[in-house]
Amino acid sequence: MHRSIRTAALVTSLLVLLFHVPSHAGSWEPLAQGLELGTFPIDAHDASSPAISFLRIDPDRFCFKLIAQGTSLTRIATLEQWCEEKHLVAAINASMYREDRQQSTGYMKTRGLVNNGYINPRFGAFFVFDPKVRSLPKVAILDRKNDDWRRLVTKYDTVIQNFRLISATGKNLWPPSNKKHSIAAIGMTTDGRVLFIHCQTPMSVYAFNQALLHLPVNLKTAMYVEGGPEAAMHLNLQDNRRSWMGQYEHPLLGTIHERLWPIPNVIGIEPVRSCQQAVETNATGE
């Protein structure tokens, strides 16, 4: 009698395990040496069947490039077009931008070009790379509340300022909200790798942050780079080309389906062996 009860309980437990897979079940797919793709389903109370996609990048294998608008003619293109034109392996939005479709909403500079020299007091994160001294990390996300950012931003040739998503202590910095849209972000892992992050399903930034904090991706910190239809990510390997596109919710039409939008400023990667030292800009004459 007791054995039958135990057997029934064991069968029930196995069925529960089979049909209630953890929401963060996912895996990393190797794409190239130092580059992996991960897609993780998540639980979100304000979105249906969402997933977050990651490109995990080893900065010892790939260098980072900011393709930024210059001070003259505006040249905008989709991420796919930028990748083809600049020979990038992958790319993501660099930041939100102003109505002129040229200038970033936060501080942005790269190798002598200043797209926006104004430190936005609302933005608490700086994505930095191209260190001027070898003792510094090749790439980092600086936290205005935690790091000596005023000194450190002068030590890097490329600096991009955006909203913080998660504090240095692992706290969700955004309040709950009914506003839902696609999100593109950049993160750092505890072992120093960079994450290009994209969530196509419209959701609040609060819910997005909560999901990031509970996924098994070893996230250390993250910053917001874009939201809505412009939020995108693109992979540009010879045998694997793929785009992650943004969506947004219209009050009358519902979810508006995705397409790649032209954007002015992007962050891309290319293999270290092919990195060029020349400034990549879109000023007049290029």
Res 254: pLDDT: 58
Res 270: pLDDT: 97
Q: State the Cα angle at 117 between 160 and 284, rounded to 5°.
A: 90
Share of the chain above pLDDT 90, in %: 71
Using one digit for the tens of pLDDT, what is the confidence trace for 105-153?
Answer: 999 999 989 999 999 999 999 999 999 999 999 999 999 999 999 999 9
List the chain domain ranges: 23-274
Average pLDDT across the chain, whole number? 86
Mean pLDDT of 230-239: 96
Q: State the Cα angle at 105 between 102 and 110, rounded to 5°.
A: 70
Mean pLDDT is lowest, of 11-20, 188-197, 227-236, for: 11-20
Of residues 248 and 27, which shows the higher confidence score?
Answer: 27
| CA–CA separation, 188 and 203 (whole Å) | 22
DSSP string, the chain: -HHHHHHHHHHHHHHHHHH---TT--EEEEEETTEEEEEEE---TTSSS-EEEEEEE-TTTEEEEEEB--SSS---B-HHHHHHHHT-SEEEE---B-TTSSSBSS-EEETTEEEE----TT--EEEEEEESSTTS-SEEEEETTTS-HHHHGGGEEEEEEE-EEE-TTS-B-S---S--EEEEEEEEETTS-EEEEEEEEEE-HHHHHHHHHHSSS-EEEEEEEEEGGG--EEEEETTEEEEE---EEETTTEEEPP-PPPBS-EEEEEEGGG---S--B--TT-
Predicted model pTM: 0.85
Mean pLDDT of 25-34: 90
Q: Are 95 and 68 in contact (CB under 8 A)?
A: no
Res 148: pLDDT: 96
Q: Does pLDDT of 23 surpass 60? A: no
